[in-house]
Amino acid sequence: MNINKPTLFLSIFAAYSALSVTYAEEMTKDNVTEEDAVLHLNDMTVTQSAGDANISHQTTLGKDDIAKKQSQISDTAQLLGDTAGVSFQGAGGVSSIPILRGLNDTRIKIEVNGMTVNSSCPNHMNPALASIDRSNVGKIIILQGVTPVSMGGDSIAGTISVESAEPIFADPGAGYLTTGTVSSFYRSNGDAFGANISAGLANDFFRLDYSFAHTQSSNYSDGNGTVIKSTRYQTQNHAAALAFKWDSHLLEIKAGLQNMPYQGFPTARMDLTNNDSVFGNMHYKGNFDWGTLDGKLFIEHTTHVMDFGPDREAPEPMPMNTRSTNIGYKLQAEIPFNNDDLVRIGSEFHSNAIHDYWPPTSTFPSMMGPNTFLNLNHATRDRFAIFTEWERFWSDNWQTMFGLRYDRTMTNTGDAQAYNTVTPDYEQAIAFNALDHHRNFDTIDITASVKYMPNDWANYNFGYARKNRAPSLHELYPWSTSPMPMTMIGWFGDGNGYVGNINLKTETAHNITFTSEFFDPTGNDDWSIKLTPYFSYVENFIDADLCQTCKQPENGFSYLQMENHDALLWGVDVSGQVNLYKSKRLGQFSSKSIMSYVRGRRMDGGNLYHMMPFNLKWSIDHKLNGWQNSIEMQFVDAKDEVQEIRNELQTPSYILLNMKTSYQWQYGSIDLGVDNILNKQYYAPLSGVYIGDQYPMTLVSSRPNTQNLAGQGRSVYVGFTLKY
């Protein structure tokens, strides 16, 4: 079902306008007092209002918003699902990859409790947001397009910052404060279940917290009742935090570990068969007479194993091991001048090291033996940055922000090694080892934003940013063009095989956004609407071309090599909400909606990969005391603008209906919901190709590329939370 996008948008906008007028008329007609007319809704998306210090395009999700989805999802990335402009590339059950306005993965700077953590797997099975359980998230900040230089570097799409809940201390002289939660959930599709426990102890000086979470699921079924193989997963997370507060200073020390014994990847050639990671970080924030000092220091280490899962019925194991370490710091000072100016200066460092080695499966020369295959031999990517940012309030109506940032990124890798000396890999390894592997990338980011607030019901925000991203280790250094190694590399969900390109250039994006926001001038949040058109021209966008030295299969899959091409992206995001009706007996009724559309083209012709078609979410929400209800409709248009070079498959349009109800009281809550009520058979546009039931060692041995990954059928979920 295709639709006329402008007509739909205008219809929705008109509907919001009509609802606002009708609401005002009904309040006047029934002589409802101003106090009675106030509706207090917990909307999923909370955005900045006029007068906030940070004038960037920012969306913030708080702990109450996040808690609403605890029983519904296991994937932390899916907490962002009700934000305009955010979409997802399907992967494992807890490892989907977010996309901001058509730009994905390493083009987004993702921070988890101040740590910048890159995927170590050559299929990106352990993305940053998978490193924290959704039950341990207290706040998420999403910045798209024009990101302040103090919040983003080495990215062209924006920043996603995930933070655990802030520490709560006892009042002075009140003794010890104890807090804790116990929660559990069950979802019918895939027999998914899990639980988490957290506990805290604090006085007015220190606080100690511990949390544990366990989640697992079997393979899910689609709308036709077919079991989708390689979609099962299991994960456990432990986290501990120690915090100290004195005067105007705060020091936090956090540590944790994650064990993921398995996670299927239905759009990849292999599965995750074990993933262990540990981390530690420190955060200091202090207020002084001259301003604020904020410092973060972290280290993270991951041990990752990739192999064929049981659903692929492989005749023998084929382990591919990865070890990675992330180390970094960020130091920032914020200095106010008078009452109108605010200056931020800072420095940042991030070191990412990856050792990707594939143990032999035979003791004699063969496709996989007798040597260890070195894909990335202790590869390193070190980035140092300095930045400065100036924010000024020129008047009550005008506000500006300008930022300048310099990043130096240095990459290197050791010598490659083939499985043996008799296959073509051996000659390729010799040729690769003869090259100078060291690369330096020097980049300058510039950000400029202007905010105009002409009255108490509207504001306008214009922004321009020149943003850069140096190539990742997985884009630069994979070196073999033999069929088997290429088949096992690729994080795009397209089933194709990839080889790196050591001569890649830095991506440079010129991002322009213009946001118009209109809202209730009474301050009661009775209605609001936000419209953001955007435009991005990317020099040296890292895409893919056909591998010229590879023999291409004839089944719809391809062997590809990373390559730079200029690209153009544009689109629009719309969000809005309106309060419909309120009475003491029936409660509060409201409606909210988000809409997004993005297009992307290569300047030499052809579409960019994974461009989300027009999509809309619309809901009717109800609240009566502690009882909350919601009915949601999700529409996704047909994806017919696909990338030919990757053999991207088209997907039909679909509509999903979901509903949920919850009751909350002082000491807990109960949640009940149904996703995909009508058991619709659908294919999410960005999920990728379904290959989770086969184990081809090369693309030639794969079945033809004709089948998209089907989405989940109907699922009933229930959850409860107890807290003290």
DSSP symbols for 698-710: SGGGSPPS--BPP
Does residue 24 carry a pLDDT above 70?
A: no
pLDDT in tens, 698-719: 999 999 999 999 999 999 999 9
CA 26, 30, 33, 36 torsion-angle sign: negative
Does residue 52 carry a pLDDT above 70?
A: no
pLDDT in tens, 540-561: 999 999 999 999 999 999 999 9
Does residue 11 carry a pLDDT above 90?
A: no
Closest by CA to 92, choosing from 258, 239, 306, is: 306
The confidence band for 26, taking pLDDT boundaries of 50, 70 and 90, is: very low
The confidence band for 655, taking pLDDT boundaries of 50, 70 and 90, is: very high
Q: What is the pLDDT of residue 55?
A: 61
217: β partners:
233
CA 542, 548, 552, 556 torsion-angle sign: positive
Q: What is the pLDDT of residue 31?
A: 40
How large is the average pLDDT for residues 454-482?
Answer: 97
pLDDT in tens, 682-691: 999 999 999 9
The confidence band for 49, taking pLDDT boundaries of 50, 70 and 90, is: very low
pTM attached to this predicted model = 0.92
Q: What is the pLDDT of residue 10?
A: 37
The answer to whether 95 and 130 are in contact (CB under 8 A) is yes
Residue 674 is part of a domain; what is its CATH number? 2.40.170.20
pLDDT in tens, 601-641: 999 999 999 999 999 999 999 999 999 999 999 999 999 99
Q: What is the pLDDT of residue 61?
A: 94
Q: What is the pLDDT of residue 16?
A: 39
pLDDT in tens, 405-423: 999 999 999 999 999 999 8
- Cα separation, 77 vs 128, whole angstroms: 9
The confidence band for 56, taking pLDDT boundaries of 50, 70 and 90, is: low
pLDDT in tens, 508-535: 999 999 999 999 999 888 999 999 999 9
The answer to whether 169 and 203 are in contact (CB under 8 A) is yes
Q: What is the pLDDT of residue 152?
A: 86
And the tokens for 46?
Answer: 């909370």
Preceding omega of 485 cis (within 30 degrees of 0): no
- Cα separation, 284 vs 245, whole angstroms: 10
Q: What is the pLDDT of residue 367?
A: 85
Between residues 200 and 173, which one has the greater pLDDT? 200
Q: What is the pLDDT of residue 366?
A: 85
The confidence band for 63, taking pLDDT boundaries of 50, 70 and 90, is: confident
Distance of CA 413 to the CA centre of its chain: 28
Q: What is the pLDDT of residue 524?
A: 87
Does residue 1 carry a pLDDT above 90?
A: no
* Residue with token string 């009708």: 22
The C-alpha torsion from 431 through 432 and 434 to 437, rounded to 10°, is: 160
Q: What is the pLDDT of residue 660?
A: 97
- Count how many domains the chain has: 1
CB-facing half-sphere around the CA of 542: CA atoms within 13 A: 30
The confidence band for 35, taking pLDDT boundaries of 50, 70 and 90, is: very low
Closest by CA to 487, choosing from 662, 330, 269, is: 269
Does residue 32 carry a pLDDT above 90?
A: no
How large is the average pLDDT for residues 565-590?
Answer: 97
Average pLDDT of the chain, as a whole number:
92
The answer to whether 694 and 702 are in contact (CB under 8 A) is yes
- Residue range of the domain that includes 108: 5-723
578: β partners:
527, 591
Q: How far are the Cα atoms of 221, 265, 442, 493 from residue 309, in angstroms, in the given order? A: 18, 9, 42, 17
Q: What is the pLDDT of residue 54?
A: 52
Between 280-289, 314-323, 333-342, 361-370, the lowest mean confidence (pLDDT) is in 361-370
* Residue with token string 């006329």: 4
Closest by CA to 134, choosing from 210, 60, 195, is: 195
Q: What is the pLDDT of residue 523?
A: 85
Q: How far are the Cα atoms of 155, 488, 503, 616, 645 from residue 562, in angstroms, in the given order? A: 18, 15, 10, 33, 12
